[in-house]
Amino acid sequence: MLELKRLMETPVDQIPAVFLITGEEELLMKRYLAALIEKVVSAGLHDLNLLNFEGKDFTIEGLLESFETLPVMSEKKLVVVKNPSFLETRGVSLTDKEERQMIHYLKQPSPGTCVAFYCTRKPDGRKKVLKAIKKMARMENFPRLKEPELRRFINNEVQQNEKTIEGSALKKFADSFDYFGGNATQTLLDVYHEIQKLLSYMGDEDRIGLRQVEETTIAAFQNDIFMLIDSFAKKRGAETQMRLHELLGNGEPLMKIIGYLRNQFKLMLRVKELSQQGYTASKLATKLKQHPYAIKKTLAYSQRFNEDDLIRLLNGFLILDRHMKQGRMDPQTTMELLIADLCKS
């Protein structure tokens, strides 16, 4: 990660007085903050030279005082201000006096203090204090990764654990995540956890191939889900029930299975409608803000259903959701009855 490398290569006496750390990928933000703490605060002196403030559980007066106190037995100290309410749109408002004091400090920060404003929620760009921070701070933003960056991230994590991953396995592993597109549900933290599961599965083996990827992590779940969808398309009730029970037996939560199926059928209906209007797979991916790989797979499976079947499936899931919320029967029994009903000729 270039941001980390640049930070670690900066001499302590040249570390900026103010940082603004923002972004959507909290895993990368946490790693950067950890590196900043390691760089600025001497080992064994965290209690003396590392101060933390968060949200609105502090006063501006107390925060400003922490900026001005001298470091103890060290060249610098670090003050971390996490998700400060006064930078958020619906957060607390500073008084005119507090705003002036903050802006005055930011113009002339203490040489012995490094301040890191750490914002997992997007700060309000209209705030005067934020504008003052941006003028002074080193800004480090960590947005969602692009496809080549995600593959590099996965590869680096694998290599740091003294293993290698084949190119085809890396592609399949990266493609298995619901990471790209406007409606993506996963973050880099989810990717990281799946990498750890894959590494644990490998044991003493040091080369990850397609077989290991297909047998583990979310790739296996998605493959099993699409096999379930395939049996749905063929209206094979017994086979669909069997595949549901296999997923449950593998430890997959029922609500996760239901949510994924519902989203897939909803996406299939939309893809089917747009493809009939002449949209290609690449144009569908752009319009629906989905990863091209996911769209291609969804497009292929959507051709196995007619629109009436998909509408019937979605209505069935609405009824399932209503029954579960009303507590009329347990979710698994309700799901099994839905499968039996929808797979009738």
Task: Note the pLDDT tens digit of each residue in 250-277.
Answer: 778 888 888 888 888 899 999 989 988 9
For the chain, domains (ranges, CATH) are: 2-142 (3.40.50.300), 147-215 (1.10.8.60), 218-342 (1.20.272.10)
Among 85-89, 97-101, 124-128, 299-303, where is mean pLDDT lowest? 299-303
Share of the chain above pLDDT 90, in %: 52
Per 3-state DSSP, the chain is made up of helix, strand and coil in percentages (nearest 5) of 60, 10, 30
pLDDT tens figures, 220-249: 677 788 888 888 888 888 999 999 998 888
pLDDT at position 292 over 80: no
What digits encode the pLDDT tens for the residues 108-158? 999 999 999 999 999 999 999 999 999 999 999 999 999 999 999 999 999
Looking at residue 65, its pLDDT comes to 96
pTM: 0.69
The region of weakest confidence among 45-59, 173-187, 234-248 is 173-187
Cα–Cα separations (whole angstroms), residue 229 to 84, 225, 234, 312, 345: 46, 6, 9, 14, 16
